[in-house]
Chains A and B, each alone.
Chain A
Amino acid sequence: MKSLEELKAIRERVQGQMNLRDESGTDTRVVIGMATCGIAAGARPVLNKFSDLVQEKNLTDIIVTQTGCAGMCRYEPIVDVFVPGEPQVTYIHMDPEKAERVFNEHLLHGKVVEEYLIPEKMQPVSAK
Chain B
Amino acid sequence: MLPELSLHILDIAENALRAGASSVGIDILADIAEDLLTIVITDDGCGMDEETLHQVADPFYTTRTTRKIGLGVPFFKQAAELSGGQLSILSDKGSGTKVTATFVLSSIDRMPLGDVASTMHILITTHEETDFSFLLTVRDDAGGKYVFEMRTEEMRTLLEEVPFHTPEVSAYIREYLTEHIKDVLQHTGKDTI
- When C-beta atoms are compared, the residue in chain B nearest to A69 turns out to be B66
| B2 contacts A40, C-beta separation under 8 Å | yes
A6 and B126 contact, Cβ closer than 8 Å, known pairs A39-B2, A39-B11:
no
Q: With A and B bound together, what is the CA distance between A70 and B66 in angstroms?
A: 6
Q: Scoring A residues 13 to 42 as 1 if CB is less than 8 Å from chain B, else 0, what string do you get?
A: 111001000000000000000111101100
> CB distance B162 to A4 under 8 Å?
no
- The chain A residue with its CB closest to the CB of B118 is A48
A47 within 8 A of B: yes
Nearest first, the 8 A-B pairs at minimum CB distance are: A71-B66, A55-B171, A36-B72, A7-B158, A55-B167, A2-B176, A65-B126, A66-B126
The 8 A CB mask of B139-153 against A (1 = contact, 0 = none) is 000000000001000
Q: Report the number of A-B residue pairs with Cβ-Cβ less than 8 Å.
A: 114
Knowing A34-B122, A55-B167 are in contact, say whether A18-B162 is a contact too (CB < 8 A).
yes
Q: Which among B7, B167, B180, B183 has the highest number of chain A CB atoms within 10 Å? A: B167
CB distance from B187 to the nearest CB of A (A): 14
Task: Kindly identify which residue among B75, B155, B168 contacts A58, using a CB–CB cutoff of 8 Å.
Answer: B168
B58 → chain A closest CB, angstroms: 14
CA distance A96 to B71 in the complex (A): 24
Asked whether B1 lies within 8 Å of A40 as measured between CB atoms, the reply is yes
Q: How many chain B residues touch A (Cβ–Cβ < 8 Å)?
A: 42
Q: Which residue, A5, A40, A63, has most C-beta atoms of chain B within 10 A?
A: A40
Q: Is A88 an interface residue (CB 8 A)?
A: no
| Closest A residue, CB atoms, query B166 | A14
Given contacts A36-B70, A44-B7, 10 further A-B contacts (CB under 8 A): A2-B176, A2-B179, A10-B168, A14-B166, A14-B168, A15-B162, A39-B11, A47-B126, A48-B118, A69-B67
Residues of B within 8 A of A73 (CB): 67
**Is the pair A11, B159 in contact by a Cβ cutoff of 8 Å?**
yes
Distance, CA A54 to CA B163, complexed state (A): 15
Given A60-B167, A69-B66: A44 and B118 within 8 A (CB)? Answer: yes
Among B1, B18, B119, B179, point to the contact of A1 (Cβ < 8 A).
Answer: B179
Set of chain A residues within 8 Å of B167, measured between Cβ atoms: 54-55, 57-60
Known contacts A39-B2, A44-B7; is-contact A4 B66 (Cβ 8 Å):
no
Task: Provide the bound-state CA to CA distance between A128 and B160, in Å.
Answer: 40
Contact B67 A39 (CB under 8 A): no
Q: How far is the CA of A39 from the CA of B71 in the complex (A)?
A: 11
Q: Are A7 and B159 in contact (CB under 8 A)?
A: yes
If the complex has contacts A36-B11, A40-B2, are A13 and B168 also in contact, measured as CB distance less than 8 A?
yes
Tell me whether B168 and A4 are in contact (CB under 8 A).
no
* Any A CB within 8 A of the CB of B64: yes
Asked if B60 is at the interface (CB within 8 A of a chain A CB), the reply is: no
